[in-house]
Amino acid sequence: MSKHTAAPKTNAARLLDGLGISYELRTYDVDPNDLTAISVAKKVGLPPEQVFKTLVTEAAPREHFFAVVPGNQELDLKKLASAAGVRKVELASLKDVEPLTGYIRGGVTVLAAKKPFPAFADETIELFDIISISAGMRGVQILLSPADYLKATEATLVDLSKAGASA
């Protein structure tokens, strides 16, 4: 994969550069009324199950986790709580996402986040040669191998998707 593109360099991309990880930046037109991973997948030319969305969750005040799930799936909060070893997890309030991560909705990524919360990635991430994740800003995706993503994020692989659910 080439790193040469007209896409803006993001902190997430700089982090990958520093780790010597190969990736491709792919830009797309942002519709602020449709920030879904399914929409992003169409725009970057990948199936939704290959475009992973990063969600910020909260188990208790000041106890947060990242959950990385396929774009066509919903996060199972009970599975995440079990994997994280906590009683209950819920999605973080939208107003808290930027202060916690440094990223706005539609641009959240584990890479170079403001605070290094533990990350959990859905086990289906390993089914693909290439995955797409947010580059840390709306309109830019990072395409890289799942192994490199897991290396860079130190994410724990678990089953995080709701059975039979597609978002």
95-126 burial, b for 16+ CB within 10 Å, e for fewer? eebeebbbbeebbbbbbbbeeebbbbbbebbe
The answer to whether position 3 is within a domain reads no
Q: What is the pLDDT of residues 11-40, one digit of tens each?
A: 999 999 999 999 999 999 999 889 999 999
Beta bridge partners of 158: 122
The answer to whether position 35 is within a domain reads yes
Q: What is the pLDDT of residues 88-131, one digit of tens each?
A: 999 999 999 999 999 999 999 999 999 999 999 999 999 999 99
The answer to whether position 82 is within a domain reads yes
The answer to whether position 6 is within a domain reads no
Total number of domains in the chain: 1
Q: Which residue has the tokens 């040669």?
A: 129
Asked if 98 and 70 touch (Cβ cutoff 8 Å), the reply is no
The answer to whether position 88 is within a domain reads yes
* CATH code where residue 52 lies: 3.90.960.10
Expressed as residue numbers, the domain containing 39 is 11-134+145-158
The answer to whether position 165 is within a domain reads no
Q: Which residue has the tokens 């709306």?
A: 138
